[in-house]
A = this chain, B = another copy of it.
Amino acid sequence: MQRNQTNYVILGILAIHPHQSGYEIRKTIQQSVGFFWGESYGQIYPALKRLAAEGLIVPSSSGASSRANRQEYSITPAGHARLQQWLAVPYRDDPPRDEFLLKLFFGRDAAPGITAAHIRQMQEKLRRLLATLQELEPLARAHNSKNPGFPFWMLTLSFGLAQMRSALEWSESALAELSAVEANVTAAPQPADGIPAA
């Protein structure tokens, strides 16, 4: 069974804000749901063609842009129906893959300090993202608080914030725990098979 999630992000984004070009749609995605969703042009442009062929979106023009080589799209009633239909289906979480956790899990086999470095790398990423999202919130509130979508956007945001804060908290204690562990190991961390790597 196919899901073709790209189609639905596009429909959802156009439902919130019509008359957008492929280029703009991508930017909107990055700015609004970027912290948990990404789309590349290689996905978006073909998807727009397909959606238009199916009548779920239509080429449109708002007259707001002077650019010649630009095709805006808007969602059609059929597209909106399709979006709602998709929303009603129980979500399916795709098998997660977290390289950070994988490297953490195999930390035994890493040279000393490596795992701590990963954790710090993660902290930096999270802090940056957290800061961005926190700055975004009041702005969104000021501009869109009357939009019926607003409460849902805030719920999404608060979920992200909660996850990031919890991850950051964890990272502090993890670093502490780690340095305790690596201090205890007087010998160099044993490579399982006797031959240390370069």
A118 CB to closest chain B CB (Å) equals 6
Q: Is B91's CB under 8 angstroms from A100's CB?
A: yes
Is A178 an interface position by the 8 A CB rule? yes
Report the nearest B residue to A182, measured CB to CB: B151
Give which listed residue, B16, B35, B76, B151, contacts A177 with CB less than 8 A: B151
Report the nearest B residue to A149, measured CB to CB: B108
Q: Is B97's CB under 8 angstroms from A83's CB?
A: no
- A97 and B195 contact, Cβ closer than 8 Å, known pairs A84-B110, A104-B155, A148-B108: no
Q: Is A99's CB under 8 angstroms from B92's CB?
A: yes
Q: Is A77's CB under 8 angstroms from B174's CB?
A: no
Q: Is A33's CB under 8 angstroms from B75's CB?
A: no
Q: Is B148's CB under 8 angstroms from A18's CB?
A: no
Enumerate chain B residues within 8 angstroms of A189, measured Cβ to Cβ: 148
Q: Is A152's CB under 8 angstroms from B108's CB?
A: yes
Chain A, interface residues (CB within 8 Å), range? 35 or more
Report the nearest B residue to A194, measured CB to CB: B77
Report the nearest B residue to A97, measured CB to CB: B37
A115 CB to closest chain B CB (Å) equals 7
Q: Is B98's CB under 8 angstroms from A152's CB?
A: no
Is A140 an interface position by the 8 A CB rule? no
Which residues in window 96-113 of A have CB below 8 A to B?
A: 96-111
A81 CB to closest chain B CB (Å) equals 4
Enumerate chain B residues within 8 angstroms of A190, measured Cβ to Cβ: 148
Give which listed residue, B107, B109, B192, contacts A18 with CB less than 8 A: B192
Enumerate chain B residues within 8 angstroms of A135, measured Cβ to Cβ: none
